[in-house]
Amino acid sequence: MKKLILVAVLLSLLVPNAAQLFAADKPVNLALVTPIQIFKSSESIAGLRLNLIYGKNADVTGLDVGLGNHATGKMQGIQYGVVNLAGQGGAGIQWGWVNIDKGGTFTGLQYGLYNEGNQYVGLQLGLVNFAQSTQGLQIGLINIIKKGGWFPVFPIINGSL
C-alpha cells in the first residue's frame, strides 16, 4: 500500500510538469548518423550527446562525444571526437583531429591536428591553427591569424593579447 501511495504522489508531481520537461532542451541524444537519432537536428541538447558516426543538433551544452560532432548553434562544454564543429561559437573544449568554430566567439581550448576559430579567445594547440581574430595563443607547426595577431603566419607560437 505504501508503494502505491508513493507512486501516486510521484506521478502527481510529474504530470503537471511534463509539458515544461519536454519543452526544454533535451537531456540526452543518441545518433547513429543524422537524421537517424533520438531527437531532430533542430533540437538543442543539454546533457550528454553520443554520436556513433555523426550527430547534428542546434545548441549543445554538456558532453558531446562521437566520431563527428556538429552543433549548428552554440557549443558549451566538451566536444570529444574525430571532427568537432560549432556553428555559432560557445565555450569549452574541442578535442579531436579537426576542431572548427565557424561563427561567433569561442572561448576555451582547441586541441587537435587542425584547429579553426572565427573569433577565438583562449588556446589553440595543434599542427595547424587558424583564427580570423584571437585573444590568446596558438602553439603549433603553422599558426595563422587573419586580423590583429602578432604575425599573420608564424611557426611554433603566435597570438594576440
Interatomic CA distance for residues 102 and 116, integer angstroms: 8
- For CA atoms 69, 100, 40, 35, the dihedral sign is negative
Task: Using DSSP, state whether 27 is helix, strand or coil.
Answer: strand
Grid cell locating 49: 550527446
Query: What's the domain count of the chain?
Result: 1
pTM of the model: 0.84
Residue 150 CB neighbours (<10 A): 15
Is beta strand 153-160 parallel, antiparallel or unpaired with respect to 45-57? Answer: unpaired
d(CA 71, CA 48): 13
Strands 90-95 and 75-86: parallel
Residue numbers of the domain that contains 66: 2-160
Per-residue tens of pLDDT for the chain, all 161 residues: 555 454 444 444 444 444 444 456 899 999 999 999 999 999 999 999 999 999 999 999 999 999 999 999 999 999 999 999 999 999 999 999 999 999 999 999 999 999 999 999 999 999 999 999 999 999 999 999 999 999 999 999 999 98
**What's the distance, Cα to Cα, between the start and end of the chain in Å?**
67
**Three cell numbers written together for 140:** 603549433
